[in-house]
Structure 1
Amino acid sequence: MLMSDILKEVGRGKRGARDLTYEEARAAATAIINGDASQAQIGAFLMAQRIKMESVDELKAFVDVLRSSAFRSPVSEGLDCAGPYDGRTTTFMATLATAFLLASAGLPVTLHGTAPLPPKWGVTLPDVLREMGVDTTEAPERLASSARSIEYGGVKFVPAEASCPPLGRLRPIREELGLRTILNTAEKLIDYSESPYLVFGVFHNTVFDRMAQLIQRLEYRKALIVQGPQGSEDVYIDRPTRTYRIDGGEAKLHVIDPEAYGLDTPLPSAKDTVWSASDQLQITEQVLRGEAHPAFVNQVMLSGAVRLELAGRVDSVEEGIYTCKALLDSGKPWHLYCHWRVSALAVRC
Structure 2
Amino acid sequence: MINLLKEVARGKRGARDLVLDEALEAAEAILTLQATPAQIGAFFIAERIKMESVDELEAFVRVVRKYATRLPIQEGLDCAGPYDGRKSSFYATFPTAFVLAAAGVPVTLHGAPSLPPKWGIGLHDVIRAAGVDPDRLDAEKAALAAREAGVVYIPTEQWCPPLRELRSIREELGMRTILNSAEKLIDFTHSPYLVFGVYHNTVFDRLSRLIIKLGYRKALVIQGAEGSEDLFIDRPTRAYVVDDGQFHLRIYDPETMGLDTPMPEKEWTPAEQAAVAESVLRGEADMAFANQVLFNAAARLELAGRVGSLEEGLYTCKALIDSGAALAVYNSWKNALLGVPRLA
Tell me the TM-score normalized by structure 1: 0.94
Cα pair 1:289 1:334 within 8 Å, conserved:
yes
Question: Equivalent of 1:46, from 39, 44, 47?
Answer: 44
Q: Equivalent residues in 2 for 1:1-349 (5 A)?
A: 3-138=1-136, 145-147=139-141, 151=146, 152-269=148-265, 273-346=266-339
**Which 4+ residue blocks in structure 1 deviate beyond 2 angstroms?**
143-152
- Secondary structure in 2 aligned to 1:137? helix
- Secondary structure in 2 aligned to 1:323? helix
Cα pair 2:54 2:209 within 8 Å, conserved:
yes
Two-structure CA RMSD over aligned residues (Å): 1.3
Cα distance between partner residues in 2 of 1:38 and 1:223: 36
Cα distance between partner residues in 2 of 1:35 and 1:319: 49
- For residue 266 of structure 1, report the CA deviation from its aligned partner: 0.9
Cα pair 1:115 1:126 within 8 Å, conserved:
yes
**Counterpart residue type for residue 183 of structure 2:** E
5+ residue gaps, structure 2: none
**Counterpart residue type for residue 275 of structure 1:** W
- For residue 346 of structure 1, report the CA deviation from its aligned partner: 2.4
Cα distance between partner residues in 2 of 1:4 and 1:232: 35
- For residue 144 of structure 1, report the CA deviation from its aligned partner: 5.8
- Secondary structure in 2 aligned to 1:106? coil
- Partner deviation per Cα, 1:183-236 (whole Å, 9 max, x = no partner): 000000000011100000000011101111111111100000000000000100
The range that moved more, 38-47 or 333-342, is 333-342
Cα pair 1:148 1:162 within 8 Å, conserved:
no
Cα pair 1:288 1:333 within 8 Å, conserved:
yes
The range that moved more, 173-182 or 74-83, is 74-83
The range that moved more, 38-47 or 146-155, is 146-155
- Partner deviation per Cα, 1:213-263 (whole Å, 9 max, x = no partner): 111111100000000000000100000000000011110000000011111
- Secondary structure in 1 aligned to 2:88? coil
- Secondary structure in 1 aligned to 2:211? helix
- Secondary structure in 2 aligned to 1:234? coil
5+ residue gaps, structure 1: none
- Secondary structure in 1 aligned to 2:84? coil
Cα distance between partner residues in 2 of 1:30 and 1:154: 33
Cα distance between partner residues in 1 of 2:267 and 2:18: 40
- Partner deviation per Cα, 1:89-134 (whole Å, 9 max, x = no partner): 1000000000000000000000000000001111111101111222
Cα pair distance change 1:11/1:223, threshold 3 Å: same
- Secondary structure in 2 aligned to 1:285? helix
Cα pair 2:48 2:176 within 8 Å, conserved:
yes
- Identical-residue share of aligned pairs (%): 60
**Counterpart residue type for residue 290 of structure 1:** G
Cα pair 2:192 2:217 within 8 Å, conserved:
yes
Cα pair 2:75 2:189 within 8 Å, conserved:
no
Cα distance between partner residues in 2 of 1:331 and 1:148: 24
Cα pair distance change 1:128/1:218, threshold 3 Å: same
Cα distance between partner residues in 2 of 1:288 and 1:70: 32
Cα distance between partner residues in 2 of 1:214 and 1:97: 28
